[in-house]
Structure 1
Amino acid sequence: MATTKAVQRAQAKVEYDAFLAVCPSRQLLDRISDKWVVLILCALAGDTAAEPGAGDGPKAMRYSELSRRLAGVSQKMLTQTLRSLERDGLLTRTVTPTVPVTVSYELTDLGLSLHQVTRGLRHWAQANMGQVLANREQHDARTP
């Protein structure tokens, strides 16, 4: 008896438990917890302002635009991260046959749904960094 796609997805949800060492969702958690993934998702979602909710909305960006926006990312790391996000279906890569060739990246619906989660992480980090730095300083001062 053939099972429908919905039944297969429901079974898969039961089978994925990130607390188990063999669970493949751990690979996905590892990927999406990377700082470059979070920042790429935020950039492509147009969430580039310091304040939550501020921004222009989702937009396609060229590689060079992403590279400029993500200060400090190496060409190798940006390329690897974009490829992995494309492979996972979180963004699309569009090649336009111009001279020179134009390549742009855009979030998929799946990528936009993940951005809803990662945006909160970025804003939390920005809002609480001062307190974290103060805590580190206090801890380091009392540690011999």
Structure 2
Amino acid sequence: MRGLLLFLLLYPFLEIAGLVMLADRIGGGPTLLWLLFTGVLGLAMLRNQHVGTLLTLGAMFRQGERVSLYSLLWPVRYLLAGLLFLIPGVISDVLAVLLLLPLAGPKLRPPGPGGPSAPEGVIEGEYTRVDDTQDPNRRLH
């Protein structure tokens, strides 16, 4: 908890130091253009974020398709990357780009008749053996 608090206190200073080093390396004008570009990019990403992506994921689950963890968390990652692009600084831009990388996660199987823990190719069910021969003279009255 103290580490998180320390990071939150140092984060603005790290962002300012990163911007100063970037301005020293490439100049003040290009750094200002970079900040404007990433701000507009973040704003565009947030404006294009709709609930439709979440509804699409829900439809995929209802149809029983296999969904990767990456596609499940993509709307959240996209939204967070847009917010990070809005924050002026080099560190937030790097984190936003890392969130947008197409890393595929493990496949998730929606719960169904086999259940989430059933191995591939196994169908769970109940059965009874009917090998016993019944007496033909026995009747139900």
User: Same fold by TM-score, threshold 0.5 exceeded?
Assistant: no
- TM-score w.r.t. the length of structure 2 is 0.29
Which protein is richer in strand relative to its size?
Answer: 1
Q: Which has the higher contact order (CA 8 A, sep 6+)?
A: 2
TM-score (norm 1): 0.28
